[in-house]
Chains A and B, each alone.
Chain A
Amino acid sequence: MNYINLLKIAKNALMRNKFRAFLTMLGIIIGVASVIAMLAIGQGSKKSIQDQMSSMGSNLVFIMPGSQQRGGVMMGNSSSQSLRMEDLEAIRLNCENISAVSPEVRTSGQVVFGNENWPTSIYGANTEYLGIKKFTIESGRIFTEKEISSLAKVCLVGKTIVEKIFPKGVDPIGQTIRFKNIPMKIIGILGEKGENSFGQDQDDLMIAPYTTVQRRFLAIDFIQGIYTSAVSEEKTEAAIAEMKTIMRKQHKIAKPEDDDFRVMSQSELVKTFSSISDILTTLLGAIAGISLLVGGIGIMNIMYVSVTERTREIGLRMSIGGKGRDILMQFLIESTMLSVVGGVIGILFGYLISSVVGTLMGWPVVIMTESVVVSFFVCSAIGIFFGWYPAKKAASLNPIDALRYE
Chain B
Amino acid sequence: MENTIIEVINLKKDFQVGDMTVHALKGVNLKIQKGEFVAIMGASGSGKSTMLNILGCLDKPSAGDYKLDGISVSELNKNELAELRNAKLGFVFQSYNLLSRTSALENVELPLFYNNKVTSRERKERAIAALESVGLADRMHHMPNQLSGGQQQRVAIARSLVNDPVVILADEATGNLDTRTSYEIMELFQRLNTDRGKTIVFVTHEADIARLTSRNIIFRDGWVVKEQLVEEKLLASYMLKTLPVGEHEA
Are B79 and A323 in touch, CB under 8 angstroms? Answer: yes
Are B82 and A321 in touch, CB under 8 angstroms? Answer: yes
Q: Of B58, B60, B83, B102, which is within 8 A of A12 by CB?
A: B102
A316–B83 Cα distance when bound, in Å, is 14
A292–B55 Cα distance when bound, in Å, is 49
A83–B174 Cα distance when bound, in Å, is 105
Flag whether A46 is at the interface (Cβ < 8 A).
no
Q: Is the interface of A mostly helix, strand, loop or mixed?
A: helix
Most buried by A among B83, B99, B100: B99
**Taking CB as reference atom, which chain A residue is nearest B106?**
A12
Produce 1/0 per residue, B192-221, CB < 8 A to A.
000000000000000000000000000000
Given the complex, which residues of A lie within 8 Å of B159, measured CB to CB? 320
Are A400 and B99 in touch, CB under 8 angstroms? Answer: no
Question: Which chain B residues numbered 89 to 121 have a C-beta less than 8 Å away from chain A?
Answer: 91, 93, 97, 99-102, 106, 110-111, 113-116, 120
Flag whether B53 is at the interface (Cβ < 8 A).
yes
Interface size on B, residues (CB 8 A): 29
Flag whether A142 is at the interface (Cβ < 8 A).
no
Contact A16-B85, Cβ < 8 Å, known A1-B116, A320-B114, A323-B114: no
Are B82 and A316 in touch, CB under 8 angstroms? Answer: no
Are A400 and B79 in touch, CB under 8 angstroms? Answer: no
Question: Which chain A residues numbered 284 to 337 have a C-beta less than 8 Å away from chain B?
Answer: 312-313, 316-326
Given the complex, which residues of B lie within 8 Å of A320, measured CB to CB? 85-86, 91, 110-111, 114, 159, 163
Contact A323-B82, Cβ < 8 Å, known A313-B99, A316-B99, A399-B58: yes
Flag whether A8 is at the interface (Cβ < 8 A).
yes
A319–B116 Cα distance when bound, in Å, is 17
Flag whether B87 is at the interface (Cβ < 8 A).
yes
Flag whether A115 is at the interface (Cβ < 8 A).
no
Flag whether A137 is at the interface (Cβ < 8 A).
no
Flag whether B222 is at the interface (Cβ < 8 A).
no
Flag whether B59 is at the interface (Cβ < 8 A).
yes
A99 CB to nearest B CB, Å: 75
Given the complex, which residues of A lie within 8 Å of B120, measured CB to CB? 4
Produce 1/0 per residue, B28-41, CB < 8 A to A.
00000000000000
Interface size on A, residues (CB 8 A): 26
**Taking CB as reference atom, which chain B residue is nearest A17?**
B101
Flag whether A205 is at the interface (Cβ < 8 A).
no
Contact A322-B114, Cβ < 8 Å, known A16-B100, A16-B102, A400-B58: yes
Flag whether A232 is at the interface (Cβ < 8 A).
no
Given the complex, which residues of A lie within 8 Å of B101, measured CB to CB? 16-17
Given the complex, which residues of A lie within 8 Å of B79, measured CB to CB? 323-325
Given the complex, which residues of B lie within 8 Å of A316, measured CB to CB? 97, 99
Contact A319-B58, Cβ < 8 Å, known A2-B116, A9-B113, A324-B78: yes
Given the complex, which residues of B lie within 8 Å of A399, measured CB to CB? 58-59, 85
Are A319 and B114 in touch, CB under 8 angstroms? Answer: no
A235–B83 Cα distance when bound, in Å, is 78
A319–B92 Cα distance when bound, in Å, is 10
Are B86 and A321 in touch, CB under 8 angstroms? Answer: yes
A202–B137 Cα distance when bound, in Å, is 80
Flag whether A264 is at the interface (Cβ < 8 A).
no
Contact A403-B114, Cβ < 8 Å, known A16-B102, A321-B83, A321-B163: no
6 shortest interchain CB distances as A-B pairs:
A321-B86, A320-B111, A400-B58, A321-B114, A323-B82, A399-B58
15 contacts between A and B (CB under 8 A): A5-B116, A12-B102, A313-B99, A319-B56, A319-B91, A320-B111, A320-B159, A320-B163, A321-B82, A321-B83, A321-B111, A323-B78, A323-B79, A399-B85, A400-B53
With A16-B100, A16-B102 given, name 7 new contacts (CB 8 A): A2-B116, A4-B120, A316-B99, A318-B58, A319-B91, A320-B114, A321-B87
A residues with CB within 8 A of B = 1-2, 4-5, 8-9, 12, 16-17, 312-313, 316-326, 398-400, 403
